[in-house]
Structure 1
Amino acid sequence: MSFSNDVRQEICSSVNDKDRRFACLYGMLLFCRTLNREHICFQSESRVSAQLFCSLFEAVFRKKLSITEHTRKNGIILCSCDTDGDTAQEVFQKYRLSDNKRLIDSEIIATNSLGVFTAGVFLACGSVNDPNKEYHLEFACPEEGLAQQLATLLGDIGVTAKTVVRRGQHIVYIKGSESIEDTLTFIGASQCTLELMNTKIYKDIRNKANRIANCDAANIDKVVKAAMKQIDDIKLIDHAVGLDTLSDELREVAQLRLDNIDMSLQEIGETLSEPISRSGVNHRFKKLAKLADEIRGGSYEK
């Protein structure tokens, strides 16, 4: 089951009183596929949404609707709920719908039912991506005016929503995880909000762990690269003049490096017969590097 379906399931279980049923059905009707005085058609790929539409319609209008199913070429089943002309006329009268264009009439919705109205809109034309993949919630609105009104409504609750036209459809979309969390909570899907938040926490921890691992790997590569350069210098010195010509302190640090390619400067400093700091070890390797460069350049004098 997809995350969108989880949201729909939770919404459907929360529409449980007269005002909420009326407001939710209003959202589903206003944003459904076909809405005119001759015919109303609510369509959804979610049977749960279609069943709720029929249930709400019966509760508000005392009329039963049936669900017809059509299998698309891609194998997805589309559920449709249709009304006849007389019933459509009754719907237009009860919800004071306009013949010319669809508009949200806030006077029809009780103040405490605005969230469930928006839930109805989501059931009619909304979808939300799996938060494991992407933070994206959108509404595919049937008309431009509705898209603008919906974006404004979401803005009133502090949600940043934008609009775009995609393949002839007016899309209202939300990208930020926090705005999606606020929207899901607003439409009554608080459990899905918690699931999204948990997913985000897990992703943040995983990303942080990956960054640390990458940083550690980079540091290891840096240490090994430096150690290889030091070993090249030491071998050159040994071949050219012999390590026994070095001072005791340089010879000891050179031998430790030859024997321990993966040892850090701090570890070398702690292993010396007379321990010194990391910077002290680094200073000795700089002396060895200078000596090796002199040998390579032919300027070394015994």
Structure 2
Amino acid sequence: MSFSSDLKTELSEIYVHAAHCRIAELSALTSLLGKYSDENIIIKSEKEQCIAKISRLIRKTFDNSEKMMYTSICSGQNVIKIEKSLANEMISTLKLSIKGEEIYSDDQVFEKTCCKRAFIRGAFLAVGSISSPEKKHHFEMDYSDDLRAEQIIKIIKVFDIYPKVVVRRNSYVVYLKDGDEIANILSVIEAPNALMTFENFRIVKDIRNSINREVNCETANISKIAGASVKQIEDIEFIDKLKGRDFLTDSLREVADIRVENPLLSLKELGEMMNPPIGKSGVNHRLRRISILADKLREEL
């Protein structure tokens, strides 16, 4: 199973005790997965776990719902048909409004902070997905129109999380890409197992990235040292060939001898091998003087 499926399974198994939170979550699920037809509400989802939770919430919230609610499978989708009397009661209790076949949740249904959490949880169960934290950070909810997208953005912002929206193939995708914000939204919808998994992968990824940065930095330093060393040794060997090593002063000859014998050492390490030891800047100064001498000899030639 994917990380997204595991998250939805976790959310579908959450038992909501407070009636007002059950109503908020069921309102989100009904408005996003339901259609109003011939005074009935038809709810469809490919996810059996999602339909099971909707059925459970309806039975817990409405009396005698078993006699007015029918579950079936049609064209690979799980379907709940809610008959007229129960549909009317749900519209009133869940603060739903009808526009043609479309069903919308009114803002009154999530006035409390806990109800906002439940509403976001229901919305994600209905139209949400999240990528595996092994690959990248991406959390999204796919809405059919801008009204629903604007509504969920407004609710999520209450928790100091600021999603963006993009239009993709006639749908409005509300998404998060920042790892901290995704961790926060998982906490908001009360998914501790998914949050722990997500954070563990983030820690591993951060450690791996830190190691890669250090390796890349070390590699760059080695390349830089090697490049400078090649030029320095070329200058020393040029002077050797033309004038001999004794052409150099004692201090320059000492650093030249050590550099030729240790082509991969840094300037600091070269300085520690001198007698007496000198600092990095001192070594650099002497090697520059050798380079200047070599360039003058080249000019004379």
Q: Please tell me the TM-score bracket, short chain as reference.
A: 0.7 to 0.9
SS at the partner of 1:159? coil
- The structure that is strand-richer by fraction is 2
Map 1:194-213 onto structure 2 (within 5 A).
Answer: 194-213=196-215
Correspondence for 1:92 = 91
Q: CA contact under 8 A between 1:42 and 1:124: conserved in structure 2?
A: no
Contact map agreement 2:97 2:106 (CA 8 A) in 1: no
Output the amino acid matched with 1:54.
Answer: S
| SS class of match (1:99) | strand
Tell me how far apart the structure 1 counterparts of residues 255 and 146 of structure 2 sit (CA, whole Å): 75
SS in 1 for 2:9: helix
Aligned residue for 1:17, secondary structure, equals: coil
Distance in 2, Cα, partners of 1:161 & 1:270: 55
Question: Cα deviation per residue 1:115-164 (whole Å; 9 max; x = unaligned)?
Answer: 11221111111111222322222211233222211111112222212333
Match of 2:80 in 1: 82
The answer to whether the aligner puts 1:191 opposite 2:215 as a matched pair is: no
Residue number in structure 2 paired with 1:30: 31
Instruction: Please give the TM-score of this superposition, normalised by the length of structure 1.
Output: 0.86
**Whole-Å Cα distance in 2 between the matches of residues 287 and 95 of structure 1?**
84
- For residues 152 and 269 of structure 1, the distance between their equivalents in structure 2, rounded to whole angstroms, comes to 63
Q: Does 1:296 align with 2:295?
A: no
Structure 2 vs 1, CA of residues 265 and 84 (structure 1 numbering), >3 Å: closer, same or farther?
closer
Task: Report SS of the residue matched to 1:158.
Answer: coil
The percent identity for this pair of structures is 32
- 1:73 is aligned to none
The yes-or-no answer on 1:177 pairing with 2:179 is yes
Cα-Cα RMSD = 2.4
TM-score for both structures, normalised by structure 2: 0.86
Aligned CA distance change for structure 1 residues 18 and 248 (closer, same or farther; 3 Å): closer
Residue number in structure 2 paired with 1:14:
14
Q: In the alignment, is the contact (CA less than 8 A) between 2:133 and 2:201 conserved in 1?
A: yes
Q: 1:7 to 1:42 in 2, by over 3 A?
A: same
The runs of 5 or more residues in structure 1 that have no matched partner are 71-77
* 1:290–1:68 distance in 2 versus 1, CA, 3 Å: same
Equivalent of 2:216, from 188, 208, 214? 214
Which residue pairs with 1:226 in the alignment? 228
**C-alpha displacement of 1:236:** 0.6
Query: 2:222 aligns to what SS in structure 1?
Result: helix
Aligned partners of 1:50 and 1:67 also within 8 Å? no
CA distance in 2, matches of 1:268, 1:275: 9
CA drift at 1:67:
4.8
Higher alpha-carbon deviation: 226-235 or 162-171? 162-171
1:284 alignment partner, one of 272, 283, 286: 286
Task: State the 1:90 CA deviation.
Answer: 4.8
Residue 53 of structure 1 deviates from its aligned partner by 2.2
- Within 5 Å, give how 1:242-261 maps onto structure 2: 242-261=244-263
Q: Is contact 2:164–2:175 with CA below 8 Å preserved after alignment?
A: yes
Partners of 2:167 and 2:173 within 8 A in 1: yes
* Count, aligned residues: 291
1:231 CA displacement: 0.7
Q: Which moved more, 1:209-218 or 1:16-25?
A: 16-25
CA contact (8 A) 1:15 1:24 kept: no
In 2 relative to 1, CA 93–286 (structure 1 residues): closer, same or farther, beyond 3 Å?
Answer: closer
Instruction: Give 5+ residue unaligned stretches, structure 2.
Output: none
Pairing 1:68–2:112 present: no
In 2, Cα distance between the equivalents of 1:133 and 1:14?
A: 27
1:260 is displaced (CA, Å) by: 1.3
Shift of 1:214: 1.1
